[in-house]
């Protein structure tokens, strides 16, 4: 059964105690984990795994950023909305919005690059295989 290309995914989550710092707010590094969890869910929605055991290619992160607008605290329920903003020949770009209800918590971006895995852990940038690239699309309302 084929999968229609996906553009976005919304991950619903609750802040866990181990994710907060000594003043009770989520540690800044956890936001990157939330974005990555949403990305992996997006790939599953597309019928793929970002780290399939038999894959001939991998997708390391080459750029990631976040801007923090409001804190999250223990047991807050929030959404991580990830969206494909560009599918290039060798890279995929995402934007991520974290919200709690109608409040914007943080905004982030992530860029991954397709690489072949060589001997001695060498990596070479290669085009994204068509069966992977074809599973993702940029939203119609995008400027790209």
Cα distance between residue 80 and residue 36, in whole Å: 10
> Nearest-CA neighbor of 62 among 113, 96, 28, 108?
113
pLDDT of residue 141: 64
Counting as low any pLDDT under 70, the low residues of the chain are: 1-2, 141-144
pLDDT of residue 144: 42
Decide if 3 is inside a domain.
no
Decide if 1 is inside a domain.
no
Which residue in this structure is represented by tokens 């994204």? 128
Residue 69's domain spans which residues? 8-133
Decide if 142 is inside a domain.
no
CATH code, domain with 95: 3.10.129.10
pLDDT of residue 4: 82
Tell me if residue 58 falls in helix, strand or coil: strand
- Concatenate the DSSP letters of all residues of 32-57 into one string: HHHHHHHHHHHHHHTT--TT-TT-SE
- Buried b or exposed e, range 49-66, using 16+ CB within 10 angstroms: ebeeeeeebebeeeebeb
Structurally, the chain folds into a number of domains equal to 1
Decide if 88 is inside a domain.
yes
Q: Kindly report, residue by residue over 25-58, the tens digit of the pLDDT.
A: 999 999 999 999 999 999 999 999 999 988 889 9
- Residue length, the chain? 144
pLDDT of residue 90: 98
């Amino acid at each position: 059964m084929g999968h229609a290309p996906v553009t976005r995914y919304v991950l619903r989550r609750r802040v866990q105690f181990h994710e907060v710092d000594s003043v009770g707010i989520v540690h800044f590094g956890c936001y990157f984990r939330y974005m990555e969890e949403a990305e992996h869910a997006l790939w599953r929605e597309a019928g793929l795994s970002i780290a399939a055991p038999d894959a001939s290619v991998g997708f390391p992160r080459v750029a990631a950023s976040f801007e923090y607008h409001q804190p999250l605290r223990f047991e807050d329920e929030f959404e991580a909305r990830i969206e494909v903003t560009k599918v290039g020949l060798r890279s995929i770009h995402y934007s991520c919005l974290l919200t709690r209800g109608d409040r914007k918590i943080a905004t982030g971006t992530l860029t991954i690059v397709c690489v072949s895995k060589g001997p001695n852990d060498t990596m070479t940038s290669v085009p994204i295989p068509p069966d992977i690239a074809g599973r993702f699309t940029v939203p119609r309302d995008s400027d790209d």
